[in-house]
């Protein structure tokens, strides 16, 4: 078939023919079939596009089907195309299989000429309206179909406005418009590639041809290149009867949502303008009326109750069919509603959840469907922590609330420092005069950003909103001295390392680290997450390095802590200096003495964690990073440290130099450190045991697990495990302590995957560390990849950043192999995964396919992972 | 059985009972069975060792078997134990399953007392001999069996020597010796744990007990700990009739080899001393005579032709049985030969090969056996290059020829510089005043070492000999100024980077890079290698970065060049500056212009390579290392470079800083560079094509292959391959050029192994890079591993350094998986491997088990790999 008609409740096409009819054409056909009033018309398919472009015009065999379609359209519209008294006007619009908004041509008001315009004027009773429509048509047609540059039309319009002493074409009177049309037609006669056709049928053929050809236009080609669309066959062309919202106060145009666009609650929502065209609503020159107002408020419903009834019926039909909240553009022509377009509404996250849950309660959809209505990635936008309302606070300064949420951390003044501390898992707030694209990585590393300059559209504001990082910008009273690493507000001066807290919802900045609490979440959220949990095939735990983070994670639904990075604890307060003494120690004995100073702190940290996670597992990873990360960077700080310890400057420098590595990621870290310096893990394991005993004595149900990092060989694990088990001996007899501590191995290098069977035989659990594993499998470091990964993604060599989305073909295959070997060797083994990808919905979907027992991600990714796992679980069951 | 007798051509034990009888006991039994005259005796097994130690003495049930054995021994020896007229004397020696030389006790001359010593004196006609034997016995027995400290005996001996005014016990007369024995017996009576037993049978029991107990002695325990021997059940004890080489000029003692110890050629070889005891040969106080001399020379054969006949018969019997060249210790007692011990001889490499080949020709062994007689690792010792005798030369200086072979390279003065250049594959000669253990890694990196101080036992000399690196030490006329990186000899001054050549065979050092040629190899070597090639299941290629290296490799039997590291070519002469312009280029165009300057050099290098390798494959790997490796290290050099290029100091520093990476091994290198800067591979591929055409025009049979490094994803390969194929279009039509260039992928990260099927589909060949692959699989860098790998090896956590010996369980398993997938996807694929392990015999043995088609190693490892592959091939067939 070459022409797909729709109108009068019948359509040749349907919603499933997107490839053939384009998104728009398929949607119009589907709505027509549903009994929704769309202006009747017909669609010429995408399959004609290439032929028309190559042939330079419509093929001759299309004439008859086109005539037949026009005749059907005339019957449906009750007007005739080209009729001198009551002419049917047509719109000709593009519509490809993938939407390309703004990139292709549209011609409206096809069918006007010097005769029909008079009929339109008579019929509408509005001569000005008719000639304005004619003016627009000559301009659009002349430009798109006949190749006359916009410039000429704009020049003529300027002259006309100047002559009439008005600023806008809408203010021109009929006489002026008549003159302008005549000038436009002269222009087209002079510059057009062919003469202006007065015959409506010839206009239509030329308009369809021009719209098809716009597929190869510069804008369309560059649009597809930018979005990497292959575009498929080409565009379809939709020809529709024109409807007019400008025929008096009983006409108009608007946008409606099938549910409240702010809350997602049931009830029609929207805006409209009486006596207006499509663009008028968007232009913002006139204030629109609500579709439904508060009691007594002026609204579409109060003015035109029948139109409200029509819209309500349409909304009900559409939702019942699409089963999502819809946003629709409509025109009212003399109290009759015409739907021009409908599409899924993009609601704020909490509204989308509310609507999805309500729709289940209304019986419209099933819980499994409700899950698919919510994009897990967008969940983050509603999951910002808040400052504990009860926390005492001292305001430092305030600025513009640029990106919501609260964050606290120590202040840093450079991108380099932000990244360096973040790597050590220290929470930082980046303080800048303003940010630049060079800061992007650092901004991702920071918990929050404040700037002294810039507004709500500044780089800092835009980027932090995209990233979901809290920010406060334009703190004008704050003076930033990045060189000296200081900031001052009046008398108050802060240095790098001082803690602050920012509130991206209020724009306030406070001194010190204020207590943060998780967001208040809606009942609908809880309902949705409960449904997600019901479909999940994998447990979601959280990474947490402190009792505060662990508390958040638990409130956000984490089933345990899958990764405690113990090194973080060494950075708090003065402990770092003790840790430095551990590193510079000249003997095992000296090292052991320094470690003994650290032990009580570790015990305290662990006890707090166990208390918060009462009854849930807590996996403590023993020290992982290379030792040089703990040393000061600056030589003078190093020497000062040495002086305090009674080590010569020269010796301190020598030790620091020896610790430096060419490839730290591939160096002396993880369990390799523990084999060289067993005292470190001895202390940490003992601290865990001591904390277990203390917490148990307080009635806490402790579920502690010890995790050994960077294992590449079963012998490493055996050696360390035996040592830890020996250390446990004295604790075993204590009341309530388990027979044996739970010990597991990280799987974060390729070899550990290959050895997973042997590792599993001596482990209670295994934990994949996918950041490092990805690094090992690709031979690619996350930090250094930044230099070329963008080029890879642009060229399509990598589809995704493998550090963000799990590489199923490579890393995933190795994980599956490891899991298979591990379960075969030890059927009781528990298997987890932690890494950035643990919070990525696509990765979670793959992982829960029986691969691992639990996933551990950062606290605020817990809901994302729960939902993503629920979604894929639901898909697996259906 | 508790006692294993041997003598008179019969033995209860045999050579296969090493665990039970120890190496020595099993050997004595076996030789007795062969009809070789060993002093008769019996062995008490290792199984008694624990019982004797625990029980504090011999079990009572051993009495009767011991009596029976003594009676058999008396019959075989023709003397009686304890006989007053002609006493049989016995030796009591330890002998465990693993040799522990010097670590355990021996007691000789058991059976002497105040009566029997007189009989011995009469019978031997040498009273001095008899009392000297008695003196030694009392000392040894008193010390070992009765616990009297050596100190007392030495004190008495000193007194006696002082009184007699002589320096050595050998000069004491009979009277003095009689007095000394009497004093010794007093000592033992005073300090001994029990009285000295005069009864020979009691002496024997005590001696056997003491030798068993020495198994738990301090020396033995620490020996086993040092060598990590578990030692098995314990030691056995061997009791043998004493034979004496000190009974006049028709007696004596010596060491013989069944073939010439220098050349390996047939014919008895050895040294002996008339009228001497065992230790006398080793002590070096007397000059020994040859077993067989030149015509007319004084020798054992000329003096005692019958003894020579006996030895010849023994050598023939032994070789026929052991089928290896044997070294034997013998004693001649009144023209009768007694063999005390025989063991495989350790000959110089060329001699060992000569003997093995001769033995095949003599029909003693098969070629497959001959291969196993040669240790591939030791092959290197005969494979040093020499300076081309025809090369013109200018002597710089000379010193001691400390380690053989010749080497040339640029001079460097610090360990750091040596390692840095070596990493870039630049040949360096390390110049030091003297070396220390801190230099070991640098010494391994250098092609040769010269020092201005030290002798043939200096650190530099000893270590270079061990490493097989040429060295010249103690160049006294050379002054080294490491600080300023200069050396001077008289008026001549050289700076870091100047080329020299050293000759470790002559001790000479020459100016400039002299032409080196491969060693002259023997016919026997060629024969053996031909046999090895016959058994090989894998091709051996060589890595080579220059035509010179390629020429060596071909002469050493390489079947092609498996890896040409093209970056090496950029370091020659002035090209490095052009390469630096490539790196600092501000646009693709500027980069392309600089690369055009390099292209003719690359073409020239490739043409030379193709000529040398006429008819054999040459695999050219495109640029691999990260760009910053090509930049100068020092800021001032960087700025100077920028100034020449018209780039500000600031900009140059910025570029250099941007290129710096946190983990260069995991960073922007290999094909990742080529995707960012395609111009580089474009130039290199074009240069290869141009060189192919030029060489073919000269009649050379070019077999070029292009190898793409660091591929982790099939898309990378596809992208680069398409580009290279497009570049080839203009060359395809040229006469003699192939239809398509051969393009392959390196497999050097774990992911490439997993993707091997897809990579194989778009490759003509694959090449495993096991250095990087090991790094990827372990998550461990070769450089940084040095910090803790020794601890791992010491603790037995790793059995081998995985960068030296292929990790079969991990890396190997992944290689097998990759090979399987690659061959399934593309049965025509050729698969190679290059990396350090390619030259390791154990790794080669595993690899040729059908895993890969060829192995590529450094030129001088080619024979090692050929032999190792031949050996394992031969083992597979047998």
| CA-based nearest residue in chain B for residue A659 | B787
Across B126-152, average pLDDT: 93
As a whole number of angstroms, the distance between CA A621 and CA A823 comes to: 22
Least confident of A525-534, A744-753, B146-155, B215-224: B215-224
**Is 80 exceeded by the pLDDT of residue B504?**
yes
Banded model confidence at residue B279, pLDDT cuts 50, 70, 90: low
The two structure tokens encoding residue A52: 């028309």
- Architecture of A4-241 per CATH? 2-Layer Sandwich (3.30)
- What are the Cα distances from residue B824, in Å, to B242, B818, B819, B829? 69, 10, 8, 9
Give the closest residue to A626 by CA, choosing from B790, B780, B661: B780
The A residues from 625 to 664 touching B (CB cutoff 8 Å) are 658, 661-664
DSSP conformation letters of B249-293: TT-EEEEEEEE-TTT--EEEEEEEEET--HHHHHH-SSPPEESS-
Residue spans of beta strands (DSSP E) within A224-363: 235-241, 252-259, 266-274, 289-290, 326-333, 336-344
B757–chain A nearest CA distance, Å: 12
Q: How much is the pLDDT for B283?
A: 57
The ipTM of this complex is 0.74
Chain pair A-B, CB pairs under 8 angstroms: 175
A475 is catalytic: no
> Scanning every residue of chain B, which has its alpha carbon at the shortest distance from the alpha carbon of A798?
B715
Cβ-nearest to A665 among B666, B668, B675: B666
B754 to A775: CB separation less than 8 angstroms, yes or no:
no
**Candidate from A719, A749, A814 with C-beta closest to B779:** A749
Cβ of A788 and B813 within 8 Å? no
Q: Each residue of B252-277: pLDDT tens digit?
A: 999 999 999 888 999 999 999 998 87
Average pLDDT over residues B53-65: 90
CA distance B232 to B22: 10
Q: Which are the contacts of B211, defined by CB distance < 8 A and separation ≥ 6?
A: B92, B93, B94, B104, B105, B106, B107, B144, B235, B237
**Cβ atoms A214, A302 nearer than 8 A:** no
- Taking only the tens place, the pLDDT of each residue in B308-324 is 999 999 999 999 999 99
Q: Backbone dihedral region of A557: left (phi > 0), alpha (psi from -120 to 50 degrees) or beta?
A: left
Q: A813, exposed or middle or buried, with CB in 10 Å at 0-12, 13-18, 19+?
A: middle
Q: Would an 8 Å CB–CB cutoff place A438 in contact with chain B?
A: no
**Contact call for B779 and A665, based on CB within 8 A:** yes
Please indicate whether, in this complex, the C-beta atoms of A667 and B787 are within 8 angstroms of each other: yes
**CA–CA distance, B752 with B769 (Å, rounded to integer):** 11
| Radius of gyration for the alpha carbons in chain A, expressed in angstroms and rounded | 34
A801 interfaces chain B, CB cutoff of 8 Å: no
Cα–Cα distance for residue pair B213/A528, rounded to 1 Å: 79
Instruction: Confirm if A373 and A528 have CB atoms less than 8 A apart.
Output: no
For residue B676, list chain A residues with Cβ-Cβ distance below 8 A.
787-788, 791
Cα–Cα distance for residue pair B118/B84, rounded to 1 Å: 7
> Of A49, A753, A834, A857, which is the active-site residue?
A834
Which H or E element spans position A610? Answer: helix A588-612
Active-site position among B384, B459, B568, B628: B459
CB contact under 8 A, B809 and A664: no
Residues forming a β-bridge with A769? A834
Confidence of residue A73 (pLDDT cuts 50, 70, 90): very high
Greatest Cα pair distance, chain A, in angstroms, is 106
CB contact under 8 A, B777 and A809: no
Does residue A839 register a pLDDT over 80? no
Closest Cα in chain B, distance from residue A676 (Å): 7
Residues of chain A within CATH 3.50.30.10 domain(s) are 385-517
List pLDDT tens digits, range B672-702: 999 989 999 999 999 999 999 999 999 999 9
pLDDT at A709: 97
Contacts of A199 (CB under 8 A, 6+ apart): A82, A113
Q: What is the pLDDT of residues B539-557, one digit of tens each?
A: 999 999 889 889 989 988 9
Residues in A touching B798 (Cβ below 8 Å)? 713, 715
Q: How far from A118 is each of A127, A128, B323, CA to CA, in Å? A: 8, 11, 120
Chain A's closest residue to B716, CA to CA, is A797
What pLDDT, on the 0 to 100 scale, is given for residue A513? 92
Check the CA dihedral B668-B671-B674-B676 and report its sign. Answer: negative
What does the pLDDT look like over B596-605, one tens digit per residue? 999 999 999 9
Residue from A139, A459, A568, A628 carrying the catalytic annotation:
A459
Q: Which of A660, A750, A758, A792 to mutate to test the interface with B (most CBs of B within 10 A)?
A: A750
pLDDT for residue B730: 94
Region B385-517: CATH code: 3.50.30.10
Beta bridge partners of B398: B508
Q: What stretch(es) of chain B map to CATH 3.30.1490.20?
A: 4-241
Q: What is the pLDDT of residue B69?
A: 95
Query: Which residues have CB under 8 Å from B819's CB, separation 6+?
Result: B756, B831, B851, B852
How many residues are given for chain B? 878
Compute CA B443 distance to the chain's CA centroid, rounded to the nearest angstrom: 17
Q: How high is the pLDDT of residue B456? A: 79
Tell me the residues of chain A between 818 and 857 that have a Cβ less than 8 Å away from chain B. none
Between chains, do B795 and A675 touch, taking CB under 8 Å as contact?
Answer: yes
A112 by DSSP, 3-state: which? coil
Q: Compute the distance between CA of residue A10 and CA of residue A14 in angstroms, rounded to an integer.
A: 10
The residue in chain A having the minimum alpha-carbon distance to the alpha carbon of residue B752 is A778
Which B residues, 691 through 720, put their C-beta within 8 Å of a C-beta on chain A? 710, 712-713, 715-716, 719
Strands B4-7 and B41-44, sheet pairing:
antiparallel
Reference B846, options B873, B819, B821; nearest CA is: B873
**Structure tokens of A625?**
């990073």
Q: Which of A34-48, B462-476, B834-848 has the highest mean pLDDT?
A: A34-48
The answer on pLDDT for A521 being more than 90 is: no
From chain B, the residues in CB contact with A666 under 8 A are 663, 665-666, 775, 779-781, 784
Residue-level pLDDT at B233: 75
pLDDT at B228 over 80: no
A728-767 residues touching B, CB cutoff 8 A? 748-751, 754-755
For chain B, give the percent of residues with pLDDT over 90.
Answer: 63
Q: Is A458 left (phi over 0), alpha (psi -120 to 50) or beta?
A: beta
pLDDT at B681: 96
Alpha helices in A449-507 (DSSP H): 459-467
Report residue A414: phi and psi, to 5°: -135, 155
Residue A749 has its nearest CB partner, among B754, B778, B784, at B778
According to CATH, what is the number of the domain A536-570+603-626+674-877?
A: 3.20.20.60
**Rounded to a whole number, what is the distance in Å from the CA of B687 to chain A's nearest CA?**
26
Nearest-neighbour CA in chain B from A766: distance (Å)? 17
CATH superfamily of B252-347: ATP-grasp fold, B domain (3.30.470.20)
Q: What is the chain A residue with the closest CA to B667?
A: A784
CA distance B198 to B191: 17
List of chain B residues whose C-beta atoms are within 8 Å of the C-beta of residue A668? 784, 787-788
Among the listed residues A515, A529, A704, A511, the one whose alpha carbon sits nearest the alpha carbon of residue A602: A704
Question: What is the end-to-end Cα distance of chain A in Å, rounded?
Answer: 35
- Catalytic residue check, B475: no
The closest CB to that of A712, out of B661, B668, B778, belongs to B778
- Tell me: pLDDT of B638 over 90: no
- Chain A residues with CB inside 8 Å of B719's CB? 795, 797
Residues of chain B with CATH 3.20.20.60: 536-570+603-626+674-877
Average pLDDT over residues A267-272: 92
* Partners of residue A780 in chain B, C-beta under 8 Å: 666-667, 712, 749
Q: Is the pLDDT of residue B358 over 60?
A: yes
Task: Identify the band that residue B231 occupies on the pLDDT scale cut at 50, 70 and 90.
Answer: low
SS3 category, B133? helix
CB contact at 8 A, A395 and A510? yes
Distance CA B236, CA B6 (A): 15
pLDDT band at A583 (very low <50, low <70, confident <90, very high): confident
**Residue B109, phi-psi category: left (phi > 0), alpha (psi -120 to 50), beta (remainder):** left
Q: Quote the pLDDT of residue A284.
A: 59
∠ CA B760-B762-B768 to the nearest 5 degrees? 40
To the nearest whole Å, the CA of B771 is away from the closest chain A CA by 12
Q: How confident is the model at residue A266 (pLDDT cuts 50, 70, 90)?
A: very high
Higher-scoring residue by pLDDT: B784, B17: B17
Do residue B777 and residue A750 have CB atoms under 8 angstroms apart? Answer: yes
User: What one-character DSSP code corresponds to residue A120?
Assistant: H
C-alpha to C-alpha distance for A770 and A780, rounded to whole angstroms: 13
Nearest by CB to A787, from B668, B751, B788: name it. Answer: B668
**DSSP string computed for B192-261:** -SSPPP-SHHHHHHHHHHHHHHGGGSHHHHHHHHHHT---TT-EEEEEEE---S-SSTT-EEEEEEEE-T
């Amino acid at each position: 078939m070459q022409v797909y008609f729709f109108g009068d409740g019948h359509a040749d096409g349907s919603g499933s023919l997107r490839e053939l009819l384009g998104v728009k054409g398929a949607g119009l056909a589907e709505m027509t079939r549903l009994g929704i009033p769309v202006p009747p018309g017909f669609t010429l398919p995408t399959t004609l596009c290439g032929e028309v472009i190559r042939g330079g015009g419509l093929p001759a065999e299309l004439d008859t089907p086109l005539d037949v379609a026009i005749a059907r359209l005339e019957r449906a519209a009750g007007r005739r195309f080209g009729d001198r008294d009551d002419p049917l006007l047509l719109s000709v619009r593009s519509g490809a299989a993938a939407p390309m908004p703004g990139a292709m041509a549209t011609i409206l008001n096809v069918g006007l000429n010097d005769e029909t315009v008079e009929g339109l004027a008579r019929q509408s009773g509005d001569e000005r309206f008719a000639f304005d429509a004619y003016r627009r048509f000559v301009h659009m047609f002349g430009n798109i179909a006949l190749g006359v540059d916009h410039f000429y039309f704009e020049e003529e319009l300027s002259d006309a406005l100047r002559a009439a002493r008005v600023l806008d074409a809408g203010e021109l009177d009929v006489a002026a418009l008549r003159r302008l049309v005549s000038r436009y037609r002269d222009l087209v006669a002079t510059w057009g590639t062919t003469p202006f056709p007065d015959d409506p049928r010839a206009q239509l053929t030329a308009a369809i041809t021009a719209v098809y050809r716009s597929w190869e236009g510069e804008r369309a080609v560059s649009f597809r290149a930018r979005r990497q669309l292959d575009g498929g066959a080409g565009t379809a062309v939709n020809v529709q009867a024109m409807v007019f919202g400008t025929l008096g106060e009983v006409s108009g145009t608007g946008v409606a949502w099938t549910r409240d666009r702010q809350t997602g609650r049931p009830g029609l929502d929207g805006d409209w303008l009486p006596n207006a065209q499509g663009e008028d609503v968007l232009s913002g020159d006139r204030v629109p009326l609500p579709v439904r107002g508060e009691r007594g408020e002026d609204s579409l419903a109060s003015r035109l109750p029948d139109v409200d009834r029509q819209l309500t019926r349409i909304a009900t039909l559409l939702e019942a069919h699409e089963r999502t909240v819809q946003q629709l553009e409509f025109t009212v022509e003399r109290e009759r509603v015409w739907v021009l377009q409908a599409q899924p509404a993009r609601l704020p996250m909490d509204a989308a959840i509310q609507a999805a849950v309500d729709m289940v309660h209304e019986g419209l959809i099933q819980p499994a469907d409700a899950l698919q209505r919510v994009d897990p990635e967008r969940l983050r936008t509603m999951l910002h922590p808040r400052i504990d309302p009860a926390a005492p606070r001292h305001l430092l300064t305030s600025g513009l609330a640029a990106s919501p949420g609260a964050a606290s951390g120590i202040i840093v003044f450079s991108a380099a420092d932000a990244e360096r501390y973040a790597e050590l898992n220290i929470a930082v707030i980046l303080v800048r005069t303003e940010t630049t694209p060079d800061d992007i990585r650092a901004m991702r590393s920071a918990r929050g950003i404040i700037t002294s300059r810039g507004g709500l559209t500044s780089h800092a504001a835009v980027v932090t909103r995209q990233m979901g990082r809290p920010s406060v910008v334009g703190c004008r009273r704050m003076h930033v001295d990045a060189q000296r690493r200081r900031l001052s507000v009046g008398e108050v001066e802060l240095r790098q390392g001082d803690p602050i807290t920012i509130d991206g919802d209020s724009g306030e900045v406070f001194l010190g680290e204020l207590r943060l609490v998780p967001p208040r979440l809606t009942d609908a959220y809880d309902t949705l997450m409960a449904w997600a949990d019901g479909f999940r095939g994998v447990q979601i735990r959280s990474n947490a390095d402190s009792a505060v983070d662990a508390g958040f994670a638990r409130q956000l639904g984490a089933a345990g802590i899958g990764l405690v990075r113990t090194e973080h604890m060494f950075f708090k307060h003065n402990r770092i200096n003790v840790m430095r003494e551990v590193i510079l120690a000249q003997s095992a004995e000296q090292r052991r003495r320094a470690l003994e100073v650290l032990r009580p702190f570790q015990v305290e940290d662990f006890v707090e964690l166990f208390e918060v996670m009462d009854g849930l597992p807590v996996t403590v990873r023993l020290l992982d990073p290379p030792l040089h990360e703990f040393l000061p960077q600056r030589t003078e700080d190093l020497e000062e440290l040495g002086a305090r310890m009674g080590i010569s400057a020269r010796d301190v420098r020598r030790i620091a130099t020896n610790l430096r590595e060419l490839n730290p990621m591939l160096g002396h870290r993880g369990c390799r450190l523990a084999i060289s310096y067993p005292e470190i893990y001895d202390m940490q394991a003992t601290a865990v045991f001591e904390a277990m005993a203390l917490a148990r004595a307080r009635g806490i149900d402790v579920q502690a697990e010890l995790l050994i990092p960077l294992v590449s060989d079963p012998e490493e694990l055996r050696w360390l495990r035996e040592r830890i088990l020996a250390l446990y001996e004295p604790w075993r007899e204590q009341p309530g302590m388990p027979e044996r501590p739970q010990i597991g191995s990280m799987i974060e290098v390729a070899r550990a995957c290959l050895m997973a069977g042997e590792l599993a035989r001596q482990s209670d659990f295994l934990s994949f560390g996918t950041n490092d594993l990805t690094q090992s499998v690709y031979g690619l470091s996350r930090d250094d990849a930044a230099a070329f990964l963008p080029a890879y993604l642009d060229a399509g060599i990598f589809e995704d950043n493998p550090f963000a989305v799990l590489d199923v073909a490579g890393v995933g295959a190795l994980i599956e192999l490891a899991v298979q070997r591990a379960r075969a060797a030890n059927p009781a083994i528990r298997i987890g995964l932690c890494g950035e990808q643990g919070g990525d919905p696509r990765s979670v979907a793959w992982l829960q396919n029986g691969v691992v027992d639990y996933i551990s991600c950062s606290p605020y990714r817990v809901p994302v992972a729960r939902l993503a796992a629920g979604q894929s679980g639901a898909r697996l069951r259906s």
